[in-house]
Structure 1
Amino acid sequence: MQTIVIACDPNAQDIKKQLITYLEAKGYTVTDYGSEDPIYANTAVHLAAAVARLEFDRGILLCGTGIGMSIAANKIKGAYAALITDAYSAERSRKSNNANIACFGAFTLGIRNIEKLLDIYLSSEFEYGGASQPKVDKIRAYELAQS
């Protein structure tokens, strides 16, 4: 079973708590990286760095819209955060883009939608050798060139 790290800004504390319960009931090992810092970038960078270091299999970030968290998390080399808003993006964030962090909007989706999308995201895997492999490789090459 995958190890998951989750964090949010203060706006999404209730949904984060519900997601932890939901994921643990499904057998996932979940680590909570907090929700008290009103500067969501601090939380996103902290979680993204841990995922990039491979301390966890996947990360989950929540804020009002999920946008700020995804922008901040993507500043970390090796972190690939996707804003997930629908079933197709949940699946393709993994299968086509190999995203290791899912970002959700607590104000835009609500708990039931996030649970459904999270199930899709967590059950999807990157298609190594598929049509998207060269695209993902190019993203990583750009990233490494900036180091």
Structure 2
Amino acid sequence: STTTPTARITPRYHGIAVRMHSALVLEKIAGAGGIDPELSHAEQEESWRTACILADTITETELLNDELLPERVLYRLFHGEGVAVDRPRTLAYGCRCSRARLADILEGFSHDDLDHMAIDGDIVMTCEFCNFDFRFPRGSVTGKEGLTP
């Protein structure tokens, strides 16, 4: 699948000690839920360009207005293209990696691959979400015997 995110973020100061941030983020999603998969590649690209052009017309006032419902903003921007609004979801920090999950991933590699991953006797996997290093002693990971790349 192809995802091509774009964002426009406009921070502004309101009052003395309050700083508000707001953004409209568009993401191109392949297949169901995104641009119609029955369109040709050129038509999909044109739909994406149209969405980006329309999104770029949002004003700072609209982005930062607490009383303006997001659904109303979306309708104003995209009513000519059709608007379908899903239920709101609460944003939350949530790294889903765990030591057990990463150990399972490592077990799928061949002995040779694991040996090449090890540095000073340890295999280190860094979570790109939370930037935490998971360290596995090479001897604790058995891997699969006889796997070919």
TM-score, normalising length: structure 1? 0.26
Specify which structure has the bigger relative contact order, considering alpha-carbon pairs within 8 angstroms and separated by 6 or more residues: 1
TM-score, normalising length: structure 2? 0.25
Greater share of residues in helix: 1
Structure possessing the higher radius of gyration over alpha carbons = 2
